[in-house]
Amino acid sequence: MTLNNLPIDNTPFSRRVVQAAVDLARRPLTGLRVLDLACAHGAYAFEMANLGAHVLGIEGRESWLEHARRAKEEGSWSNVEFVQDDVRNLSKAKYGEFDIVLCLGILYHLDAPDVFDFVAQLADVCREFAIIETHFAARPRIAHEWRGKQYWGMSTLEHATGATPKEKLNELGASLDNEQAFWFTQPSLCNILRHVGFTSVYDCRNPVANLYVGPERLFKIWGNRITLAAIKGQSVRMLYDPTMTTSSEADWPEDVEAHLFERGLREYQALEAQEAEQSAPPPAPDTPEARIRRLFRRFLP
Ligand SMILES: C[S@@+](CC[C@H](N)C(=O)[O-])C[C@H]1O[C@@H](n2cnc3c(N)ncnc32)[C@H](O)[C@@H]1O
């Protein structure tokens, strides 16, 4: 498929993202306000506009926006707008609120501490839910403090050290200027999403984000990336314990396996005990002869 003669980067996530947005909205997108952050040539923006939403695409690189604007003109789209801006300038005062926010392929291009403020602004402009498609750090390597909390992840390189502004701009899929980026671990990403006001977070698994690679078109699952849906709902009050509030909600631990270990260990021990019981030799049958043997065992050989 092409968009204004530009082959649409039909990433493995496009179907998943659009399906998740439609499913979570639970109603036609007609008239809903959608924000597409770092929209590049606007592929997702046009998908959402095609479903009736009013879409604003924010993109930092004018070279991408040229494609997006041309496609808008050619298709006479009246319900999609594009602005050139740095997503780090996102605020409710500047852009208003949106029913749905798409944060696709951009979180992992931002560095600390900007990425934390960006996530806070994302929550602030979001009325219903955000879909976040991102790389994550498999291991907690470095931590940053932000608003009194600690977030773990790893630092990655966006541009070679000392790259010129022009060189950076020419890296079409990379950050605008920061040479490094901060990738959250999954626990820290879930934690920050809760801390900035999303009431629940879901890991989208279907549709499968797959690629067909090579001449044989081998089926591959895209690794170390997740698609999360963060819902901006109402915090529930628990009937059995009204004192249980979101503020007392536990954070995800970084070492999830270690925390699961205790439960796993107990389950394992119980299983072992059960197996030992089953493999023990069966008790001798209680025959009259056995009873006599027990009574006179002192005198028997
Ligand atoms: C990997 S592409 C993702 C494009 C699209 N959202 C998608 O998922 O297919 C990253 C995009 O982010 C843009 N970008 C990077 N840093 C940005 C920033 N600080 N503000 C706005 N756009 C930025 C890039 O120009 C590029 O279009």
Report the separation in Å between the CA atom of 107 and the middle of ligand 1, taken as the mean of its atom positions.
9
Residue whose CA lies nearest to ligand 1 atom number 12 = 38
Query: Does the beta carbon of 176 sit less than 6 angstroms from any atom of ligand 1?
Result: yes
**3-class DSSP state of 10:** coil
Rounded Cα distance, 41 and 47, in Å: 12
From ligand 1's centre to the CA of 39, what distance in Å? 6
> H-type helices in the chain, by residue range?
14-25, 43-50, 62-75, 92-95, 114-125, 165-170, 186-195, 256-279, 288-295
CA-to-CA separations, 63 to 15, 40, 41, 56, 268, in angstroms, rounded:
25, 9, 9, 17, 58
Residues of the chain predicted below pLDDT 70: 1-10, 244-247, 260-264, 283-284, 293-294, 296-301
Distance from Cα 174 to the centre of ligand 1, integer Å: 7
Count CB atoms within 10 A of the CB of residue 29.
Answer: 22
How far is residue 68's CA from residue 9's CA, in Å, rounded to a whole number? 13
Does residue 87's CB lie within 6 angstroms of at least one atom of ligand 1? yes
Q: Is 88 close to ligand 1, i.e. is its CB under 6 Å away?
A: yes
Reported pTM? 0.86
- pLDDT of amino acid 1: 42
Whose alpha carbon is nearest atom 21 of ligand 1?
A: 60
Q: How far apart are CA 36 and CA 159, in angstroms?
A: 24
Which stretches of 80-176 are assigned E, i.e. beta strand? Answer: 80-84, 98-104, 126-135, 142-146, 149-157
Q: CATH classification of 2-258 is 3.40.50.150, yes or no?
A: yes
Q: Which of 106, 114, 121, 228 to mutate to test the pocket of ligand 1 (most atoms within 8 A of CB)?
A: 106
Helix (H, G, I), strand (E, B) or coil at 195: helix
